[in-house]
Amino acid sequence: MKVLHRRGLLAVGAASALAVTGIVVLPAVNASAASGCRVTYTANSWPGGFTGTITITNLGDAVNGWTLGFTFPDAGQRVGQGWSATYSQSGSAVTARSLDYNGALATGASTSIGFNGTWTASNPSPSTFTLNGVTCSGTVTNSPTPSRTPSTSPSVSTSPSTPTGGGTPLAANGQLHVCGVNLCNQNNKAIQLRGMSTHGIQWFASCVNTTSVAALADDWKADLLRIAMYVQEQGYETNPAGFTNQVNQYVDLAESKGLYAIIDFHTLTPGDPNYNLDRAKTFFAAVSARNANKKNVIYEIANEPNGVTWQQIKNYAEQVIPVIRANDPDAVVIVGTRGWSSLGVSDGADENEIVASPVNATNIMYAFHFYAASHKDNYRTVVSRAAGRLPLFVTEFGTVSATGGGAVDLSSSAAWLDLLDSKKISYANWTYSDANESSAAFKPGTCAAGSYTNSSSLSESGAWVRGRIRTADNF
């Protein structure tokens, strides 16, 4: 059993904000084009980069599928990672095409899309938009908006919402997607998932069963189960078909209790994910085809890359993600980062390398891992800043040291989760197991006994984390 972690981050300073609002009236066209729309464009800039958010309101006849076009005023402005649309750019002209879930716009309906971009000389706002090929005849008026904290996207509501369609996290939120730096639900509300990660399923399969998953959902009130499938260390490479089936069974267990499931391709040793590129393609082709119609699946394609450059990780991601997208175009994908998913800081770099060269894919997030007894105020300060630049998901954290053992640091753990809660950053705790290490949620022997709801079975870490997860969700 190996749990090797080193964490850290660095971010840029505060962003500036500019909002642009335009009302456009279009001439009568065929049924596929809108007869009027309202566009709101907001850009939050930092040196060399920006996030653009666009809200489209249909003022004309119902539209089933749309294409939005606009032109950047400065030749140095470029679209990078985008969300809620498919983006292309030719010269300064940008085209954004709707996805399956937001293509239908009734009269008066709105949808929000956005992207991260780069600029060189200046970052002026587009002045003209087109909808379904019809040039918008109205003018766009620039008007400044108040500055915002970097962690909250202006296109995303962070106010509480009432779960609908049932009492489980899955019923309340449905298909998730990335919007801005947030994880959002089917209603485009920013949400935070909180849950647990299994230990290596090759060692602790007895801890993942109908009873334990029911306890996680009903007693812990969790939203999420992360399925840690090691690739090496007696894992997937020894029995690809067997481990693929095991992962699928756990996805079904999570779904049956209304939980989201992260399928974690748990690469650790060796640290170069490209070593397992062919295995990853085979595995993700299988699980994405099998689970394509499920709304609870999130794919984590490389747990903790280490000893490699960001470019090597990016190259790996850009080969694996299309394999998933060929079967499951809507699911969120999480990309591991350099230095044991520390955004590169453990290697002396920082998240700027990702911002400057993001993975060429949509609907993705970037993994960050920490262990509270080893990573404290300096790490938290950096995460607080970086959360405004990249969509982050803490797919693994511990209340103990980076070895997975040692004393539980409740003070640092509380500071971490307070930060993640304030930024709506989702998280999974290591581990929902009875491993003989202080990071485990249960005391040794619990899984054999099957007494997951007995408070005396919880470790110090497990009791504390359960208390945090049980607090009410803000969906």
Which pLDDT value is given to residue 103? 83
pTM tops 0.85, yes or no: no
**Residue 119 CB neighbour total at 10 angstroms:** 20
Q: How far apart are alpha carbons 331 and 456 in whole angstroms?
A: 38
Return the CATH fold of 169-469: TIM Barrel (3.20.20)
Question: What number is the average pLDDT over the span 154-169?
Answer: 46
When mean pLDDT is compared across 168-182, 373-387, 455-469, the lowest value belongs to 373-387
Whether the CB-CB separation of 285 and 323 falls below 8 Å is answered with yes
Asked if residue 97 has pLDDT above 80, the reply is: yes
Span 164-183, pLDDT tens digits: 335 899 999 999 999 999 99
Unique residue bearing structure tokens 């992962």: 247
Q: How confident is the model at residue 158 (pLDDT cuts 50, 70, 90)?
A: very low
Q: Domain spans of the chain?
A: 16-143, 169-469
Q: Which residues are catalytic?
A: 304, 396
Architecture of domain 16-143: Sandwich (2.60)
User: Distance from first CA to last CA of the chain, Å, rounded?
Assistant: 36
Which pLDDT value is given to residue 99? 80
Span 311-340, pLDDT tens digits: 999 999 999 999 999 999 999 999 999 999
Q: How far apart are alpha carbons 189 and 105 in whole angstroms?
A: 18
| Alpha carbon distances (Å) from 150 to 30, 351, 390, 415, 423 | 41, 15, 10, 19, 9
Asked if residue 31 has pLDDT above 60, the reply is: no
Give yes or no on whether 16-143 and 169-469 have one common fold.
no
Q: How confident is the model at residue 257 (pLDDT cuts 50, 70, 90)?
A: very high
